Amino acid sequence: MTYDGKLLEAVLTAGKAAGVDLIGIGGAERFADPALRAIFPEVISVIAIAFRVLRGSFRGIEEGTTFYQYTTTGVETIEEIMLPSALLKISAAIEDAGYLAVPQRRNQKLRKEKEKPNPEMLHTDWYPAGEKEPQLDFARAAASCGLGEIGMSGALLTEAFGPFQRTAFVLTDAPLPETPRAELHLCDRCGKCAAACPGRAVDEKNGTDPLRCAVYYRGAGRHANPFMPPDAYADFPDREAIMEGSAALDYAHACEIMDETYFYPGIKHGYVSGICGRACDRACYDHLEKAGKLKKCFVHPFRDGEEWRLE
Ligand code: SF4
Ligand code: SF4
């Protein structure tokens, strides 16, 4: 296949100008995900972009001091401002060259399966899309574009930022040179992501259970939530198990718990505040940093001592 070198340069320049941290390109033949061709049957190349979530955005939840900053600067601003703006700039550069560019950001409120909520959205605020509106599997698509690998938790891990980034994509009918697939060397299945989750949502075999994650992301675990009142879940017979993260959950029970889990305000654009503090990703980042696997180095370690936890 012949490539338009000028177009590649234009894409990289547009991404850089928009502040994108990582860009990778995968040919459509790398993708088994049927959503890709359902969205754009003529797709030839997929461009993945990623913005880092600043280490500093995790500082408050890493130390149990401030909880607002992570969800607003680490989730909302990246999803609602940075990624869409970069997608539009890169897409415009492609369309200037005469090719079609189809931007893909997450639609946080569309759910394929009822029992698999998006932890970052209210469980009551969703639409049952089923197969009606296909969405890419973002972590797998990013790995197919050479950005990194999928860790045991299901998170995308990159050499630059570990699990700390968020992604979006441009599908195009322009032929572009592919980024080599990342060599799998980051996740050693240490299990630290699973051990850190206050709701036991991560398991070695199945990755992250989105239902358990939705319940505990918003703060049902007592060891991770300083805002929980003493009488929380008083009417639940399995109150202790809920707060310890060991409650058996089906969808109905998870919704009952989530209905009672509002101990801290949400963020604009409907984002639920991440009270668990993304403990899985922080434990993973700490592990990768200490193992010397991250290329981006800091003067001080991310975690110096024991993980913050309420007794
Ligand atoms: S914490 Fe360990 S097991 Fe979990 S994703 Fe990271 S490296 Fe893999
Ligand atoms: S630590 Fe938080 S984000 Fe990670 S799996 Fe558990 S509840 Fe979900």
- Predicted confidence band at 149 (pLDDT cuts at 50, 70, 90)? very high
- Predicted confidence band at 266 (pLDDT cuts at 50, 70, 90)? confident
Residue 303 placed within a domain: no
Among candidate residues 234, 243, 193, the one with its CA nearest the CA of residue 215: 243
Residue 31 placed within a domain: yes
pLDDT tens for each residue of 272-284: 999 999 999 999 9
**What is the reported pLDDT for 2?**
79
User: What is the number of the ligand closest to the CA of 192?
Assistant: 1
**What is the reported pLDDT for 233?**
97
Locate 73 and state its tokens. 């600067």
Please tell me the distance from the alpha carbon of residue 261 to that of residue 158, in angstroms, as a whole number: 33
Residue 186 placed within a domain: no
pLDDT tens for each residue of 1-48: 778 789 999 999 999 999 999 999 999 999 999 999 999 999 999 999
Instruction: List residues near ligand 1 (CB under 6 A).
Output: 151-153, 187-193, 283-284, 287
Q: 271 with 75: CB under 8 angstroms?
A: yes
Q: Is 158 helix (H, G, I), strand (E, B) or coil?
A: strand
What domain range is 197 assigned to?
Answer: 192-290
Q: Do 167 and 225 share a domain, yes or no?
A: no
Q: What angle do CA 285, 288, 294 make, to 5 degrees?
A: 95
- pTM value is 0.96
**What is the reported pLDDT for 128?**
80
Q: Do 117 and 204 share a domain, yes or no?
A: no
**What is the reported pLDDT for 125?**
85
Q: Is 216 in the pocket of ligand 2 (CB under 6 A)?
A: yes
Residue 297 placed within a domain: no
- To the nearest whole number, what is the mean pLDDT of the chain? 95
Name the least confident of 79-83, 121-125, 135-139, 219-223. Answer: 121-125
Residue 310 placed within a domain: no
b/e 163-172 (16+ beta carbons within 10 angstroms → b): bbbbbbbbbb
**What is the reported pLDDT for 221?**
96
Measured by CA distance, the residue closest to atom 3 of ligand 1 is 189
Residue 220 placed within a domain: yes
Q: Do 126 and 274 share a domain, yes or no?
A: no
Average pLDDT of 79-85?
Answer: 97
Q: Hey, which of 71, 213, 281 would you mutate to test ligand 2's pocket, going by the most ligand atoms within 8 Å of its Cβ?
A: 213
Residue 19 placed within a domain: yes
Please tell me the distance from the alpha carbon of residue 175 to that of residue 163, in angstroms, as a whole number: 29
The pLDDT > 90 percentage for the chain reads: 86
Q: Is 70 helix (H, G, I), strand (E, B) or coil?
A: helix
Q: Do 150 and 65 share a domain, yes or no?
A: yes
Q: Do 58 and 126 share a domain, yes or no?
A: yes
Q: Do 228 and 116 share a domain, yes or no?
A: no
**What is the reported pLDDT for 108?**
87
Q: Is 201 in the pocket of ligand 2 (CB under 6 A)?
A: yes
Pairing relationship of beta strands 165-172 and 202-203 according to DSSP bridges: unpaired
Q: Is 199 in the pocket of ligand 2 (CB under 6 A)?
A: yes
Q: Do 109 and 12 share a domain, yes or no?
A: yes
The pLDDT > 70 percentage for the chain reads: 100
Q: Is the pLDDT of residue 130 over 80?
A: no
Q: Do 112 and 238 share a domain, yes or no?
A: no
Q: Is the pLDDT of residue 114 over 90?
A: no
Residue 124 placed within a domain: yes
- Predicted confidence band at 56 (pLDDT cuts at 50, 70, 90)? very high
Q: Do 143 and 199 share a domain, yes or no?
A: no
- Residue type at 119 in one-letter notation: P
**What is the reported pLDDT for 99?**
98
Q: Do 87 and 128 share a domain, yes or no?
A: yes
Supply the CATH number for residue 74's domain: 3.40.109
Report the atom number in ligand 1 closest to the C-alpha of 191.
3
Q: Is 161 in the pocket of ligand 2 (CB under 6 A)?
A: no
Average pLDDT of 197-207?
Answer: 95
Q: Do 125 and 225 share a domain, yes or no?
A: no
Number of domains the chain contains: 2
Measured by CA distance, the residue closest to atom 6 of ligand 1 is 284
Q: Do 23 and 163 share a domain, yes or no?
A: yes
